[in-house]
Amino acid sequence: SNSFPLEIAGQPNLTLYGAHAPHKVYTQAAVRELVHYAKIRGVKIVPEFDQPAHVGAGWQWGSGEQDRLAVCVEKDPWHANCVQPPCGQLNIANDAIYPILGDIYRSMLDVFDDDLFHMGGDEVDFRCYNSTPEIVAFMQAQGWGRDRDSFMRLWDYFQTRSYTELESVSNFFNFLAILWTSDLTSQEYIRQYIDPAKYVIQIWTRSNDPIVKFLIENQYRVIFSNVDALYLDCGYQAWIGDSGYNWCSPYKTWQSIYENSPYRIYAAAAGQAEADDALRAGLLLGASAPLWMEQATEESIETRFWPRGAALGERLWSDPQSTGVHEATVRMVNQNHRLIQRGLQTDGLQPEWCWQHENKCTTQG
């Protein structure tokens, strides 16, 4: 929500109004180069455009009372209108936003050239819409109330129209969209509004959330990003408020990441036979460790990710079922030294003496 830095063909106002500075823009040429660099190394970059919330920056140019593209933009007090500052949500009652979304999708898919697209859906705040006259008038015109069910219908109206725009510009026959877990993907509403043939659900809640079992039993493909193990920005100082740690503390260690097996999580919830079935059916797509950037900088990002990313890599790619953290420690330490030798700014795991004296820095016999 703090920036719109991506150049979009046909919509120069998005970066003109949304980038922090003219030089803080990702050009299409730069992104193409990055996507190519990754692809020839076997890495897929999946784009995400979070919507309809977290969109204040970049949409201010449609600012008339009757044609606002975004509402609640930087509205105060922020805590009465959104989860974190600055506020801003798409004016989903304004027909003008949907062609713009089509341009965004077209431009992003042209650059990223992939059959996956993350549509966000994170932290939509109904308080914002409930205080916006044109949204309230739109809901009344549809014969809807202003209760939770009615706001869910409003959200579905937006999600359906935005997905239609996305699908219309995609060149892929088996195109899939990704959504974060939210009210829209809850047990109460998901079967009514979200088609498992069209969407993948990315789970950010805790690993013991009943939604895990529910989603897979209802044939939804899932990606695990459960906050109790995989959020890499946790455990630092709070950036909202005066003191203490940020909301998802404590810090997620490489050990907790390594032990966070999507297969084991689902097996614990539903049984091993069911987990085997889910694997065979392609419902357990894997995991992703988010590193949100509110408090990370260009200088610190490598330290935040490495070597914890290596623990995630072994768990997802080889997923050894018979070994745990103790057996993985030697591999992790050696891998970390390879990263250091390659010039990465990786965090430390052990004193160098431990690396030189294998298995001496352990409490196990």
Residue type, 285: L
Average pLDDT, the chain: 93
Write down the pTM of the prediction: 0.95
Residue pair 201/221 in contact (Cβ under 8 Å)? The answer is yes
Count of CB atoms within 10 A of residue 277's CB? 14
**Position 322 pLDDT exceeds 90:** no
Residue pair 122/50 in contact (Cβ under 8 Å)? The answer is yes
Q: DSSP label at 69?
A: S
How much is the average pLDDT of 164-169?
94
Q: DSSP label at 6?
A: B
Q: Where does 170-210 have alpha helices with state H?
A: 190-193
How much is the average pLDDT of 270-284?
95
Least confident of 171-180, 221-230, 341-350: 171-180
Q: DSSP label at 46?
A: P
Q: Which long-range contacts (CB under 8 A, 24 or more apart) does 198-201 make?
A: 198/163, 200/116, 200/176, 200/285
- At 270 the pLDDT is 94
Residue type, 90: L
- At 66 the pLDDT is 56
pLDDT band for position 364 (50/70/90)?
confident
State how far the Cα of 289 lies from the Cα of 204, in Å rounded to an integer.
10
**Position 144 pLDDT exceeds 90:** yes
Residue pLDDT, tens place only, 294-310: 899 989 999 999 999 99
- At 63 the pLDDT is 64
Least confident of 100-109, 129-138, 236-245: 236-245
pLDDT band for position 8 (50/70/90)?
very high
Residue pLDDT, tens place only, 57-103: 999 887 665 579 999 999 999 999 999 999 999 999 999 999 999 99
**Can you say whether residue 353 is alpha, beta or left, with left for phi > 0 and alpha for psi between -120 and 50 degrees?**
alpha
Residue type, 365: G
Which residues, in sequence order, are bridge partners of residue 179? Answer: 201
Residue pLDDT, tens place only, 14-32: 999 999 999 999 999 999 9
- At 334 the pLDDT is 94
State how far the Cα of 304 lies from the Cα of 233, in Å rounded to an integer.
8
pLDDT band for position 227 (50/70/90)?
very high
Closest to 233 in 3D by CA, of 119, 107, 39, 84: 84
Best-predicted range by mean pLDDT (254-258, 290-294, 361-365)? 254-258
